[in-house]
Amino acid sequence: MDPLTRRKFLLASAGAGGVAAIAASGFGLAELLATARGDHEADADDGTDKLVLVTLYGGNDGLNTVIPYADPAYHSARPELAYAPEKVLHLDDSLGLNPVLTGLKRCWDSRQLAVVLGVGYPRPDRSHFRSMDIWQTGSPEAPVPTGWVGRWLDGTNANAEAAVSFEPALPPLLVGETRVGACVAVGGLQLPRGVDAELVAALGRLQDGESELQVRAAESYQDFLRVNELVEQAANSPAPPEVAELPPLPATATGGASSLAAQLALVSRCVEAGVPTRVYSVSLGGFDTHANERVGQEWLLKQLDEALSAFLDRMAKTKAGRRVTVAVYSEFGRRVRANASDGTDHGTAGPLLVMGPGIAGGFYGEQPSLTDLDDGDLKATTDFRDVFGTLLGSVLRADPAQYLNGYQAKLLPLVRGRM
């Protein structure tokens, strides 16, 4: 089957949703950079706020992230995993950060880190896949095919560059019914076996009489070929004067080419270049710590801390960067009691972190009890939709109920001067 015939077959059999996914996965930095103002004298600030969503895949242990170090129940439930009070980075007289989170502690001290306590949802599900689906779709009651950011794309008739993922695959978070966000590979162009650039170029050639969806798919193949070159261009794009003398954000880290540091490096380039993206999705995986948790989680949290603190330091240097808000979440926390393998099993509620120059730092919500449990798990005290609803309203300036399936969010004063 020749390439052009193959494309027609794929398009005919995929349906609209499949075509949208193909177009999104092939979206290149060409379109992003083409929309950049490149006006560093004007600080590339288009006057809009940006939201960076950081997903910690695997279920991060919230009790060893924001640590209830003064609670005797914490120490008795996990004697081998609990941190001694003197090791914890104290935030107040009862809660503190994991010892490796030194950058986030500095962010807390400057009142730019908000810790939302006990975040979860009704009738928690301990399946990684179902729980992450709930968080990304904003629908704990029943499965839905769209993400809450995707529904925002639908409702605003936004272009694909309005929401961009630098993860290896497009997350459900950015998928709407009629619109879909973009997915840009950090590591550049990596074609599967049996596919070469010539074949992709043939798939991208336009034909007379093709439908709008077919044209979109063809153009996405053209963009796909330019990804590798354009990623390099983005990484080497001129920095604005405010950050020109700063050391560059790391392009790689121990997590590899698609590490959180590498993803945030691309976010920083886009923000500084004035790309009109409103929502960025990045991620760090590996938090399913059933065994030997202390070493594994500390290694991951150190990556998180270094990547986020470097990113926030850079964002604070420009007007556009100071309009960036970062939210960090995981699909669930871990059980209160440690297991027999020096780890923790799937749990429920956990802390959610919101940070940035415009954030009103401090604690929000109530720390769940470690003794009044639900089958050994924490009882959520804050609905995650209250946090996402706040971000929709204060950062994206949208009606939270419209994009959270009618849920009436209890808005939190997380962003200065917005609520």
The pLDDT, as a whole number, for residue 204 is: 63
The pLDDT, as a whole number, for residue 2 is: 45
The pLDDT, as a whole number, for residue 5 is: 42
The pLDDT, as a whole number, for residue 279 is: 96
For the entire predicted model, the pTM comes to 0.84
The values of phi and psi at residue 66, to 5°, are -105, 105
How far are the Cα atoms of 68, 142, 333 from residue 387, in angstroms, in the given order? 22, 20, 16
- Are 370 and 74 within 8 A, CB to CB? yes
CB atoms within 10 A of CB 257: 14
- Are 274 and 46 within 8 A, CB to CB? yes
The pLDDT, as a whole number, for residue 381 is: 98
The pLDDT, as a whole number, for residue 193 is: 73
- Tens-level pLDDT at each residue, the chain (419 residues): 444 443 443 334 333 333 344 344 444 555 555 555 554 444 556 679 999 999 999 999 999 999 999 999 999 999 999 999 999 999 999 999 999 999 999 999 999 999 999 999 999 999 999 999 999 999 999 999 999 999 999 999 988 788 989 888 889 999 999 888 888 877 655 666 776 667 656 766 777 777 766 665 665 555 444 434 444 455 556 666 666 555 555 543 333 446 999 999 989 988 988 888 899 999 999 999 999 999 999 999 999 999 999 999 999 999 999 999 999 999 999 999 999 999 999 999 999 999 999 999 999 999 999 999 999 999 999 999 999 999 999 999 999 999 999 999 999 999 986 54
